[in-house]
Structure 1
């Protein structure tokens, strides 16, 4: 397992605005932007915390469309650019929601409650974070939800990998990277389920006693992992081996309590915040 380390010297949280990202635009969603999933370079679906709807916004902040359901959505994934998989944490169910608003029950997850969802490309199914009284796990399903293909729960020594997994993404190297809010860590396992690395915040923040409180994460075309860190109000980037690279954005760039994040097909970073503000940054193609 990779040890904690710093790939390059981090910028101080007290420095002036980011040297790595340029703010392109921002807008205010109706409620908190807990989760964001881009469907094209100009539009993203946004879900507030524990709301009964998902909302499609364009990059001008215009509400393109709402889709309502009858339960509180914990997390969601998008496939075919228009259909959804939704987790109902309280009801212990996973649903499919069509673009037309038709709701279909896919999986009963009892006694576990479903949390974060990641839909794989090319009909390779989806993975779900599960939370139970005895700990957490990650379960992989076929595209139709009818079969489990893999469960990630313990490492090769039999120790629990997760306690309260909230978000999960996959990387181009087929790693799964998970935010665990009880461990206050980002945890990476390979496709076989072996623990690769754990990230608990930058060396600078740990030396200064700053809490690492990750909420969401995404990946980019360079296989880097981008993490929203709510306590110090930073967006951290680590490489595919879990080594800290930089603070991409900090509170000095105008973000506060960052929650949902995603990277669109043009490499722009969308950052949702507890206030409902959504900021869009260019960082891969700066200038």
Structure 2
């Protein structure tokens, strides 16, 4: 790398700002750019997906079955499965949102009943298992956890 900037994404085709606080970035097999964008308040966010030309393909702002009233969509991490599905952790709602590569909701599961609370970080290992890093919910507590989930879609 020579350190030269290759591309910059700031505004959409309508001259509207694309992001407020881009917190996580990844890409998929189509070379789309997926960004978790924090909305001013720490408890609100969205997923913005751009093509390589910087045009917005789709956005996701949560599922009304999970994110309604004061239960704002609070994404903290994002991963792409081997088949192109998008998994997003929703920390304050103890949920995992699974989307198609086109942004359609495939499932949205509150994981609290399985002991998975405050999912903060995600990764998929070489065996295709989903790793979920969970916050303890209290900065004073020391009982954060990692969970391994076998996925089947």
TM-score (norm 2): 0.86
Q: Residue in 2 aligned with 1:195? A: 56
User: How far apart in 1 are the matches of 2:89 and 2:131?
Assistant: 11
Structure 1 residue runs of 4+, over 3 Å off? 206-209
2: distance between equivalents of 1:145 and 1:234? 41
Residue 8 (structure 2) pairs with residue 151 (structure 1): yes
- Contact 1:267–1:284 at 8 Å: present in 2 too? no
- 1:1-287 equivalences under 5 Å are 144=1, 146-182=3-39, 184-207=45-68, 210-248=71-109, 250-275=111-136, 276-284=144-152
Give the conservation status (yes or no) of the 8 Å contact 1:153–1:160.
Answer: yes
CA RMSD of aligned residues (A): 1.7
Deviations 1:244-272 (A, max 9, x none): 11125611111111111011121100000
Question: Residue 141 of structure 2 corresponds to which residue in structure 1?
Answer: none
Label 1:145 to 1:198 Cα distance change in 2 as closer, same or farther (>3 A): farther
Larger C-alpha radius of gyration, 1 or 2?
1
Q: Distance in 1 between matches of 2:78 and 2:35?
A: 8
Residue aligned with 1:245, SS: strand
> For 1:193-250, what per-residue CA distance to the aligned partner results, in whole angstroms no more than 9, with x for missing partners?
1001110111322455521100011101111110010111011111111111112561
User: For 1:64-95, what per-residue CA distance to the aligned partner results, in whole angstroms no more than 9, with x for missing partners?
Assistant: xxxxxxxxxxxxxxxxxxxxxxxxxxxxxxxx
Higher relative contact order (CA 8 A, sep 6+): 1
Unaligned 5+ residue runs, structure 1? Answer: 1-143
Mark the runs of 5 or more structure 2 residues left unpaired by the alignment. 137-143
CA spacing shift, 1:166–1:145, aligned 2, 3 Å: farther
* CA distance in structure 2 between the aligned counterparts of 1:251 and 1:239, rounded to whole angstroms: 23
Q: Which has the higher strand share?
A: 1
1:187–1:199 Cα contact (<8 Å) kept: yes
Q: Structure 1 residues 145 and 282, CA, compared in 2 at 3 Å: closer, same or farther?
A: farther
Residue 52 of structure 2 aligns to a residue whose secondary structure is coil
Name the count of aligned residue pairs.
Answer: 142
